[in-house]
Amino acid sequence: MVQSEGPLLARAHVAADEPQALATLAAGLGPGPFALVILFLSPQAPLAALAAQSLTAFGDTPVIGCTTAGEISANGYAEGSIVAIGLPRAHFVTDPILIPDLSTLNRDQLIGQLIRARQALSAKAPHWAHEFGFLLVDGLSLKEDELAFTLASGLGPVPFFGGSAGDGTDFGQTFILHQGKICANAAVLALIRSDCRAHVFKLDHLHPSARRMVVTSATPAARVVHQINAEPAAQEYARLLGKDPSQLTPFTFAAHPVLVRIGGQHHVRAIRQVAPNGDLIFFSAIDEGLVLTLAEPQDMVSHLSAGLEALSRGGTRPSILACDCLLRRVEAQEKQMTGAISKLLRGHGVTGFSTYGEQMGGMHVNQTLTGVALYPPGS
């Protein structure tokens, strides 16, 4: 077990097969008391047993979490581990809201629930001025886009970010943890109020190239593209890259994602895999008629370094909770940047997990690092 406590967030991590994992993590976090504990769980961990134990392992503290496509511990990138974060009651009040069934999302009901929850948190800590939301959602639900849009409507000016639960690189099953239960096709939104300044941010190292294509046949509900430029999707995508379709791999998708332009900004629409019939399966919303632009990556190490340093302007280094896309980790591994990225994450106090997608405001995005930088009161 490795423990590290910053001024705002308590952190600890253990191996996923640690026999007394939650007891060890609770000891590592310290006595608290905590307003919320968040667990990022390798899919290799005994999920059902840990969920049941989480009801008592951290006293009366609410516990939420999710399965991951990799973890970010106090040491940087990690795999096969469980990472715990504690939000001290001295600085935070929280309300973790379970959204139990994303297939029957009741928009009006959820918006009303969010409004009431915000009012209740404000009454609990009327002198604390800072609010944000943290979302964890089933990464195979195909509902992240609709959910993010609905949450933005209910939260109004409150910034929020989040990540889609992962299953390593298997894409089999992803789960959300909420108050002792492992849930599929679900999400949990933690509304958080604090006396700490909170800055929600998004970083990506991609910019548009001059190469464009049009989605000419798709099944939007399944995030599947059948044709690009009226040609079989994988074949045409490969042609634009100068590759044979048989050469398309997860690293190809990480190195050459596509962008869509929405509201004057480009957003990544990352490709998850090639179907056996040559269709392309995406991580986020896709539709017929969309113009896609091939993205060109900047150097991820220098870009991440600049982005994290910018969060420390004024001399105060924040504590950072982050959701980092699996494809960023894949790119780092293929380009032998994992050590350098881990060093940056470690040096800047970043903790979190690798995702199947990220949320930022009302958008579900890919191949980004979304997060919140938390600054000590008065800084």
Residues 310-328: tens digit of each pLDDT: 998 777 889 999 999 999 9
Q: Which of 297, 326, 349 is the last residue of a domain?
A: 297
* Cβ-based burial of 359 (10 A; exposed 0-12, middle 13-18, buried ≥19): buried
Asked if the model's pLDDT at residue 4 lies above 50, the reply is no
Q: Is the pLDDT of residue 309 over 90?
A: yes
Q: Are residues 128 and 238 in the same domain?
A: no
Which of 237, 224, 213, 206 minimizes the C-alpha distance to 286?
Answer: 224
Number of other CB atoms surrounding residue 126 within 10 Å:
9
For residues 75 and 161, membership in a common domain is answered with yes
Q: Rounded distance, CA 234 to CA 226, Å?
A: 8
Residue 213 — pLDDT band, cuts 50, 70, 90?
A: very high
Regarding whether 352 and 218 lie in a shared domain, the answer is no
Contact 105, 147 (CB under 8 A): yes
Classify residue 197 by its DSSP letter. E
Residue 5 has pLDDT above 70, yes or no: no
212 and 270, same domain (yes or no): yes
Same domain for 216 and 187: no
The answer, yes or no, to whether residue 64 has pLDDT greater than 50, is yes
Q: What is the domain range of residue 215?
A: 206-297
Give SS3 for 92.
strand
Same domain? For 174 and 312 the reply is: yes
**Whether 283 and 195 share a structural domain:** no
Domain boundary among 297, 326, 341: 297
* Residues 322, 276 share a domain: no
- Regarding whether 63 and 198 lie in a shared domain, the answer is yes
Percent of the chain residues topping a pLDDT of 70: 98
23 and 94 in a single domain? The answer is yes
The per-residue pLDDT for 285 is 87
- CA 272, CA 198: separation in Å to the nearest integer? 32
Q: Which is higher by pLDDT, 265 or 13?
A: 13
Residue ending a domain, among 243, 262, 297, is 297
Q: How confident is the model at residue 2 (pLDDT cuts 50, 70, 90)?
A: very low
- The verdict on 285 and 309 lying in the same domain is no
List, in sequence order, every beta strand (DSSP E) within 34-80. Answer: 34-41, 63-67, 71-73, 76-78
The tally of domains found in the chain comes to 2
Q: What is the mean pLDDT of residues 29-58?
A: 96
**pLDDT at 269 (0 to 100):** 86
Q: And the tokens for 313?
A: 């302007």
> What local confidence, expressed as pLDDT, does residue 308 receive?
95
Give the model's pLDDT for residue 1: 43
Residue 341 and residue 276 share a domain: no
Are 67 and 43 contacting, i.e. CB atoms less than 8 angstroms apart? yes
Interval 97-146: pLDDT, tens: 999 999 998 999 999 999 999 999 999 999 999 999 999 999 999 999 99
Write the CATH number for 279: 2.40.30
